[in-house]
């Protein structure tokens, strides 16, 4: 069975500082990895994905994530946090094999950027 | 380009009743997935529809069923509602079934009393 762990329920960071939201995964074979963000009373918005190729993936709003196969991690990063980045962030994984339709999400990490 | 829309926004039902939730996929997307998001949790996969056929199912009982129509819109039906069915139900559409990112609607908040 595939799974995602987001070890921090909440991350606090000062505006202008770099931020990291951690994610580790477990899946049979190679993974497809995704990050989504959820604002209050809104659906999830796609940020970025890793499918294959370069381990550093760049996405929307200045976010990036690094795929590390040996550590089975896919941490989300941003060089300089904005107050508007405050939201709930979800990491998700899907296996790459035939019939691999299920996207499995972590429990989410609440990011608070302090002015 | 129209995004994913869901209706209704909120719904209150009584235990034992049946409910139908609706989703219109983003233009050009042929795949729709449904998720249940309980309070404080990540979304849990219910099932996926691809070109009007169920393409995969998560760990949900048969009283959760769905449909996809020729225009790729979709319905989620839940029979014999239980209190634990209270959650945010999210619909997501995508261009394909595996490597493509999913685009989510705003969700339907279901409360079962």
Average pLDDT score over residue span A95-104:
75
**Residues of chain B found within 8 Å of residue A49, distances taken between Cβ atoms:** 99, 101
> Nearest CA to B90 among A46, A25, A113?
A46
Low-confidence ranges of chain B (pLDDT < 50): none
Two structure tokens written together for B60: 């949900």
Q: Tell me whether A82 touches chain B (CB under 8 Å).
A: no
Name the interface residues of B facing A (CB cutoff 8 Å): 4, 33, 35, 40-45, 48, 55-56, 58, 90, 92, 97-99, 101-107
Task: Please write the tens of the pLDDT for every residue from A17-31.
Answer: 999 999 999 998 889
Nearest by CB to B101, from A41, A46, A102: name it.
A46
Task: Please write the tens of the pLDDT for every residue from A4-63.
Answer: 999 999 999 999 999 999 999 999 888 999 999 999 877 899 999 998 888 999 999 999
Calculate the alpha carbon distances from B5 to B11, B23, B73 in Å.
16, 6, 10
Alpha-carbon distance A69 to A46, whole Å?
22
β-bridge mates for residue B94, sequence order: B31
Subunit contact A42:B106, Cβ cutoff 8 A: yes
Alpha-carbon distance A111 to A19, whole Å?
9
**Residues of chain B found within 8 Å of residue A107, distances taken between Cβ atoms:** 40-42
Tokens 């196969």 correspond to A69
């Amino acid at each position: 069975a595939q799974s995602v762990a987001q070890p921090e329920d909440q991350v606090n960071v000062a505006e202008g500082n770099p931020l990291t939201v951690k994610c580790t995964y477990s899946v049979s074979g190679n993974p497809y990895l995704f990050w989504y963000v959820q604002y209050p009373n809104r659906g999830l918005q796609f940020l970025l994905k890793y499918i294959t190729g370069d381990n550093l993936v760049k996405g929307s709003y200045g976010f990036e994530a690094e795929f590390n196969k040996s550590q089975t991690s896919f941490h989300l990063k941003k060089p300089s946090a904005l107050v508007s980045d405050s939201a709930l962030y979800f990491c998700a994984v899907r296996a790459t094999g035939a019939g691999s339709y299920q996207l499995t999400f972590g429990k989410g990490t609440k990011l608070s950027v302090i002015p | 380009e129209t995004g994913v829309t869901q209706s209704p926004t909120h719904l209150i039902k009584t235990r034992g009743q049946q409910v139908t939730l609706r989703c219109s996929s983003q233009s050009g997307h042929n795949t729709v997935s449904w998720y249940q998001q309980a309070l404080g949790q990540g979304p849990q996969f219910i099932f996926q529809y691809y070109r009007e056929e169920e393409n995969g199912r998560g760990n949900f009982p048969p009283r959760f069923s769905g449909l996809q129509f020729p225009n790729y819109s979709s319905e989620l039906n839940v029979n014999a509602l239980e209190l634990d069915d209270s959650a945010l139900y999210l619909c997501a559409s995508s261009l394909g079934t595996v490597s493509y990112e999913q685009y989510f609607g705003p969700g339907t908040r279901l409360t079962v009393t």
